[in-house]
Amino acid sequence: MKKFLVVNKPENWNLSLENMEVISARDYLTNPNFFQLKKARIFNLCKDYSYQSQGYYVSLLAEARGHLAIPTVMNLVDLREPKLVKIVSDEFDDLIQKSLKGIKSAEFTLSIYFGQNVAQKYRELSAMFHRHFQIPFLRVKFSYSNKWNIKSIKALSEVEIPDDHKSSMREFAIQYFAKKRYDTPKNETSEYDLAILVQDHDPAPPSNPKALKKFAELAEKMNFYVEFVSPKDLSRLSAFDALFIRQSTEVNNDAYAFARKAQQEDIAIVDYPDAILKCCNKVFMAEALENAGIPTPKTIIVHKDNRNKIIEKTGLPLVLKSPDSTFSFGVKKASTAEEYEKLVGEMLKKSELVIAQEYTPSDFDWRIGILDDKPIFACRYYMAKGHWQIYNWNAKKKDDNEGDADVISIEDVPKKILDVALKSAKLMGKGLYGIDVKEVNGKPLVIEINDNPNIDFGIEDRYYGDKIYIEILTALKNRLDKKTE
């Protein structure tokens, strides 16, 4: 397997590394040769891992391309989540107290380079933090008040490494890159019962109140204890055996933190945190669908170097999508070159990459609900009145902000639509997905893969009724049963 060290400035990395090529982040993101490469291990040493930065996209697109990324996007998001950092602090408290016992000052900073510290006495503590977060350069600050507590954890850039640490860092790098196996954190095990996560005033809730009531009633008949929890209940999640997310999901909201904690504690989940990460980013989705040979409207990843060449490839009008757009939020149509320039300029200020897509009008979109590789419902969502999307958030009348829907049996869905939906869901692994497909000139085109799709009473359940709710609850039961086998 080829190994690549991805950095911002390759000229600063003159290491003698066997079978390792040093490349720039920009090259990895934009050079088509890396998209076509089938097997690779990517070591991401970018100076910035913040959301939608170059470093973030290096790890995200590595996963879309089937490359093995260190750190993963999940590692990067974990680092920014204070609630998850606290979990680490509590879990490894004994090791922290033992390692820092002899320090006399009230504060201490631990710098970790590829899982090691320049002082051997902090070797075990450094290795623990590296195993959990998988970040190459890490700085952990501690403060003392009755006992040692983690004050902050952050990724370091190369320029922040002190000069007197750099020779040790480079030696640690050579040792690290020579390894055959790279450790990953183990998940912890916890307890039982069903938590359904909902949020008050959710702008686009995935289930209406009647559907939530139906889930609870049927779950209780299946011997679940059911409790609706809100984002403020994260600290209580360990008391449950299973988690069903029914609030809108984004990488930066509470749903991800719940899913990630549930995964760490081996709680049964619908849906998994990696599904949230992947489905909530249109850049990942575009590369993953193309890499799998799944038909989509003509789609181009836009960055500052190619923004002037997009219209000639997609034509006008075209659709621009923010990487984390959901429920038609952050999705814009540009009908003229001037409109395109204005919109793409605004989007690139917020993200290194955005999506441009050929405009493919249709009267409706298919939505195929798929649970653990099995179709469970089929809908046709019609465009909102006088609008080109299913949702029109700017509609003057509330009744006009969403199009109609009809529901049919899975057996009546055209085979080509069903086949492409199933193939798309397999890219994301086990979970609950809604695959949006347009049929244009007799050809199915996948528009989107949605994690956490709508299950609304009176819409998605209109044909199969209670069966849809029971299928989802049974999937949670199956996850639990596998734990006890």
Q: Is the pLDDT of residue 128 over 90?
A: no
Report strand pairing: 107-113 vs 68-70.
unpaired
Please give the sequence-ordered ranges of beta strands (E in DSSP) within 226-312, or none if there are none.
Answer: 226-229, 242-245, 268-270, 299-302
Look at residues 51, 179, 192 and name the one whose alpha carbon lies nearest to residue 483. Answer: 192
Q: How far is Cα 209 from Cα 201, in angstroms, rounded to an integer? A: 12
Which of 62-71, 316-325, 339-348, 423-432 has the weakest average pLDDT? Answer: 316-325
Per residue in 226-283, pLDDT (tens digit) is 899 988 888 788 778 899 999 988 766 788 889 998 998 889 999 899 898 888 888 8
Per residue in 10-53, pLDDT (tens digit) is 888 877 777 789 999 999 999 989 988 988 889 999 989 988 89
pLDDT, position 168: 92
Whether the model pTM is above 0.75 = no
Look at residues 406, 453, 454 and name the one whose alpha carbon lies nearest to residue 431. Answer: 453
DSSP letter at 235 equals G
Q: How far is Cα 397 from Cα 206, in angstroms, rounded to an integer? A: 21
CB atoms within 10 A of CB 460: 24
Radius of gyration of the chain (CA): 24
Can you read off the two tokens belonging to residue 238?
């360990």
User: Angle at Cα 238 formed by Cα 235 and Cα 244, nearest 5°?
Assistant: 95
Please tell me the total number of residues recorded for the chain in this structure.
Answer: 485
Per residue in 94-125, pLDDT (tens digit) is 999 999 998 989 999 999 999 999 998 999 99
Helix locations, 265-364, DSSP H:
273-279, 282-291, 311-314, 337-350
pLDDT, position 189: 35
